[in-house]
Structure 1
C-alpha cells in the first residue's frame, strides 16, 4: 500500500478551498441590493475577503455558471442578514464574519480561513518531506 503524503493532502485541500473561496466570494458583487455594500465593507475592513472578491470576480464573470453557484451559496448562507446589510452597509463584514446563521454560513467561514492556515501547513510539510537517498550509483 502506498503511503499518503501529508504535503500532497495539504496542497489538495489548499487548492480546493482557495478555488471555492474565489468562486463564492467572487460572486459577492452580483448579489442584488447588498453585493456592493458587502464588497465595499470588505475593501475597508477585510483584506482577505477583498482579495478573494478581487481575484474571484473575473473568474465568475468569465463563467456565469460559477457566478450562479457562488451567488446561490451566498444567498443560502447570508440571506438572514440581507435586510440589515441593505439598511446599513457599513456593518456588512461584521455580520458576514460574525455569528453563524446556518450550516452554509459556517462552511463559508471555515473555507474563508482555510487557505491562510493551509498554506504554512503545506510549506512546512513540503520542506520536511523525506528525500530519496541513493546508496550506490552515480550522482546526477
Structure 2
C-alpha cells in the first residue's frame, strides 16, 4: 500500500504557479494588441467619414453649381472665392447635414473650367480632415 502513494504523478504548486504566470504574460500582450486595434479602427472610421462627406459635397457641386450660378455671388464675380457650408447650401439649393466644418474654394482653371477645392475639417480631430479637388465644366 505504501508504494501506491509514492507513484502518483501530478503537478507541484511551483509548476502550476509558473504556468499561470506564463499564461498571464501572453494574455496581457494580446490585450494590448486588441486595444491598439480598437483605436486604429476608430481613427480609420473618422477618416472615412470625412472622406465620404467630402465626396458628397463634391457631387453636390458637380451636379448643382454652374459657372453662371457661381458668378451671381458678389464675392465670386471673378470666379475666385471661398464659400462656407451655408453659402454652398444656398447656391446649390441642397442641404448638407454634417458636423464638420465645410468650405469650398473656387479658382479659374484651364480651358474655361473652374477648379473647386473642397475642405472638410473635423474640429474634434484635425488629423482626420479631408481635401478633394474637382472641376466645374459648365
The TM-score normalised by the length of structure 2 is 0.32
Structure with the bigger percentage of helix: 1
